[in-house]
Each structure stands twice: as C-alpha cells, then as structure tokens.
C-alpha cells in the first residue's frame, strides 16, 4: 500500500471515530432522539450554515462517486456513499479516495 493510500485510510478512520465521539456524548446527555439532534444542528445561523455546507458537500461527493463508478466500474467504491451519510463527509471522502486509488486490476 502506498503512503498516500495509508494517509487516506487513516483519515477515513479518524473521520469515523472522532465525530462519532461527539455524537455519542450528545446522545448520552440528551437521549437517543435523532430529531432532537437535528434540532440541535439548527440552533442558530452558524450551525445551520455548517449543516448546509456539509450537506451540499455530501451530495456533491455522492454525484462524483456515482459518475466515476459508472465509468470505472469500481463497485466497491459505492460503500463510501452510506459512509458519507451515516457517518459524515469526514469519513466518506477519504474512504472514497482510498478505494479510488487502489491499483487497477
């Protein structure tokens, strides 16, 4: 594995673990209510802006993944889409780059 691929993998793991710590901490303090978390994301204009920024980035990444998978036929790369929406762009983007930079067979 190349050093660049190792960096992408490390970033994907970090992007999965680090944000999840904050989500779990919030759920433990406020209960496991997804809609309450969504409400917390929109508590002020700054957080709403961040939510929209990440949502637009996630949709853009999804379009890019689908477009490239259609051409490259790298079906495994589709796993980055649920990683993006279930964990976050901080996991989905480096995971996709890790999968995309795999040696061509």
What is the tens place of the pLDDT at every residue in 65-101? Answer: 999 999 999 999 999 999 999 999 999 999 999 999 9
How far is Cα 63 from Cα 40, in angstroms, rounded to an integer? 28
What confidence score (pLDDT) does residue 24 get? 95
How far is Cα 56 from Cα 53, in angstroms, rounded to an integer? 5
What confidence score (pLDDT) does residue 104 get? 74
What confidence score (pLDDT) does residue 72 get? 93
How far is Cα 85 from Cα 14, in angstroms, rounded to an integer? 16
Structure tokens at 30: 């406020």
pLDDT in tens, 24-74: 999 999 999 999 999 999 999 999 999 999 999 999 999 999 999 999 999
Phi, psi of 103 (to 5 degrees): -60, 140
> Do residues 19 and 90 lie in contact, with contact meaning Cβ atoms separated by under 8 Å?
yes
13: number of Cβ within 10 Å:
14
């Amino acid at each position: 594995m190349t050093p660049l691929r190792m960096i992408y993998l490390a970033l994907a793991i970090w992007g999965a673990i680090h944000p999840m710590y904050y989500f779990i901490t919030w759920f433990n303090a406020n209960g496991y209510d997804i809609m309450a978390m969504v409400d917390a994301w929109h508590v002020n204009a700054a957080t709403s802006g961040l939510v929209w920024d990440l949502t637009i980035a996630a949709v853009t990444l999804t379009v890019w993944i689908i477009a490239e998978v259609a051409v490259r036929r790298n079906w495994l790369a589709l796993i980055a889409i649920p990683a993006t929406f279930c964990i976050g762009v901080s996991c989905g983007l480096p995971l996709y780059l890790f999968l995309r930079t795999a040696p061509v067979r």
